[in-house]
Amino acid sequence: MVIAANVIIMRVDGFAMMPNFTFGTAMTTYVGQNIGARKMDRVEKGTRDGLKMAVFVATVITIIILVFGKYLMSIFTDTGELVDLSMYFMRILALGYIAMAVTQVLSGTMRGAGDTLTPMWISLMTTILIRVPIAYGLAYLTRSPEYPTGRPESVFISLLTAWVLGSVINSFFYKRGKWRKKAVLETAMAE
């Protein structure tokens, strides 16, 4: 049941994440073009506006998932118990879409400015150093006769945690501003 629920969640997740990835790609293009045109003021404003739009869209998607999630899950199965289990897991994961909106916009901005390594390292860190240990740790701590390898929620809690911490870490590095210096340096070198 858990594996089937995960398959259903990943199908819904694919649609829920699409706008976030699109905002990230759009920000990369937008920032690159404006840096090339030497309009850093537009980069700052565009990032703020992109962040507002992405968070708004992610919030609407999260609300839709939380309110109509059972109907979305039932598209993929007519087994009531599986729909309920999928919805239970999705409730854990749903708020992470808002965090991912922040992550995608800010990492897209940094990539567009030429700082591709910072978002890559953040992504690797949140996946390998945060998500995996939390998943294994929670699974280990929640072992029981019913769940000898740990509770299945561990996977979704670790994913949510990685997404939220990823947005916090991306926000920190965005505000730190190394990407701005890289953009100014590349613009000066182009002249």
User: What's the pLDDT at 166?
Assistant: 97
Position 102: which residue type? V
User: What's the pLDDT at 16?
Assistant: 92
SS3 for 99-159, per residue?
A: HHHHHHHHHHHHHHCCCCHHHHHHHHHHHHHHHHHHHHHHHHHCCCCCCCCCCCHHHHHHH
Q: How many domains does the chain have?
A: 1
Range of the domain at 186: 2-190
pLDDT digits (tens, 9 = 90+) for 125-170: 999 999 999 999 999 999 999 999 999 999 999 999 999 999 999 9
Name the nearest CA neighbour of 76 among 10, 154, 170.
10
Name the nearest CA neighbour of 28 among 9, 47, 12.
47
Is 179:114 a contact under the CB 8 Å cutoff? yes
Position 31: which residue type? V
pLDDT digits (tens, 9 = 90+) for 3-31: 999 999 999 999 999 999 999 999 999 99
Q: What angle do CA 191, 106, 33 make, to 5 degrees?
A: 30
Question: Given a cut of 70, is residue 191 above it in pLDDT?
Answer: no
User: What's the pLDDT at 66?
Assistant: 95
User: What's the pLDDT at 131?
Assistant: 96
- The structure tokens listed for 65 are 């998932």
- 54-73 residues labelled b (16+ CB within 10 A) or e (exposed): bbebbeebbeebeeebeebb
pTM, 2 dp: 0.90
